[in-house]
Amino acid sequence: MGEFRFLTAGESHGRGLIAIVEGMVAALPLDEEYINKELKRRQQGYGRGPRMKIEEDKAEIISGVRYGLTTGSPIALFITNRDWQNWREQLSVSPVEKEAEPVTFPRPGHADLAGVTKYSLKDIRPIIERASARETAARVAVGAIARRFLEEFDVAIHSYTMAIGQHHRERGEASSIDWQQVEASPVRCAHAEIDKAMMAAIDKAKADGDTLGGIFEVIATGVPIGLGSHVSWDRRLDGRIAQAIMSINAVKGVEIGAGFALARLKGSQAHDVIEPNPRSKAKGLPWRHVTNRAGGTEGGISNGEDIIVRAAIKPIATLASPLPSVDLSSGEKAKAHYERSDICVVPAAGVVAEAMLVIVLAEAYLDKFGGDNLKETLANYRNYLSNIS
């Protein structure tokens, strides 16, 4: 079995987004409706901008699926940008008589300045278009394929909002979270009593021409022991997870399990005690961890507990009341460029993080269990479980 991987292409206001997925096994049931359900989840969330009222993200499967089953060939997906109709001239592929007015006022905190300098451009527009979080729609579509694959192994992935601005609620055990409440919440919060406070904070930021960040948590349940490896740095599962989550727009911090809180504890308090499992026949292992401060990984390997990942999202860099900047064409002081944007993306970022986590886990499953057909992969997986129980 080859490596599971994906590429995306497309601009925020271009014709659309493209994703190509390679390495998925044959005979996996998959349809557009399943993918589009995940895309709809990404578009929701209190604090999203007017762009989400324009778009209705739907993925079209171009190749790699026949009669509702994957074929083992690369899967190509296309997501149309409805707003492309208003940007045809500005983002024309062919030369035009009169080019659009260049954007020369970089936004502090965005890719604008670094990107336009790196690629020696005079117009920030190409950087804006590709660095936009619009690209994450393609990642969510890819993640839906990986999620559909992991469902065959009884893995479930959820996310919820822990904090928006100053409003924060400590996490509870995954088993105690009401996921229906999370999905129904406008801010994807597990605690209904602070929904209104979070939404009020978003409203205040919008009125002030400002933006808000926060923290989300992603939890994967049903992951077996043994994914990843300790033998080389790039095979460590926690390292691969951290890279994937850190690659999401506006993420500036990632922790697994108790994360930074472990730095304040003694060794005798920080680690998860191992004890005999009284339900060994049900779980398949003769031992269990009493706690899960490690967040489901030890030594770069999954340890059979829930994978728990937390990330900090900085406030969006595009402000209705722009920060001071410079005009790259003149070198003079200026206000940063403003373009319609979200006020808070924490709820949506959690959905994107689900996609990135499930992509990493699907890759780890295929790396561990191999197979070119779903039936073969499942047989290898079941054989492994019988050997370790």
Residues 293-345: pLDDT tens digits? 999 999 999 999 999 999 999 999 999 999 999 999 999 999 999 987 899 99
Tell me which residue of 197, 169, 138 sits closest to 18, measured CA to CA.
Answer: 138
Residues 106-123: pLDDT tens digits? 999 999 999 999 999 999
> Does the pLDDT at position 50 exceed 70?
no
What are the structural domains of the chain?
A: 5-257+294-388 (3.60.150.10)
β-pair type (225-228, 301-303):
antiparallel
* Interatomic CA distance for residues 144 and 236, integer angstroms: 23
Residues 19-36: pLDDT tens digits? 999 999 999 999 999 999
Q: What are phi and psi of 69, to 5 degrees?
A: -125, 140
Instruction: Give the mean model confidence (pLDDT) for residues 66-76.
Output: 98
* Whole-number Cα distances in Å, 167 to 127, 163, 185, 214, 294: 33, 5, 15, 9, 26
Global pTM reads 0.95
Whole-number percent of the chain with pLDDT over 70 = 95
Tell me which residue of 385, 378, 384 sits closest to 152, measured CA to CA.
Answer: 378
Residues 268-292: pLDDT tens digits? 999 999 999 877 554 568 889 999 9
> Does the pLDDT at position 170 exceed 80?
no
Tell me which residue of 117, 95, 114, 125 sits closest to 13, measured CA to CA.
Answer: 125
Mean pLDDT across the chain: 93
> Does the pLDDT at position 48 exceed 80?
no
Three-state secondary structure call for residue 166: coil
> Does the pLDDT at position 254 exceed 90?
yes
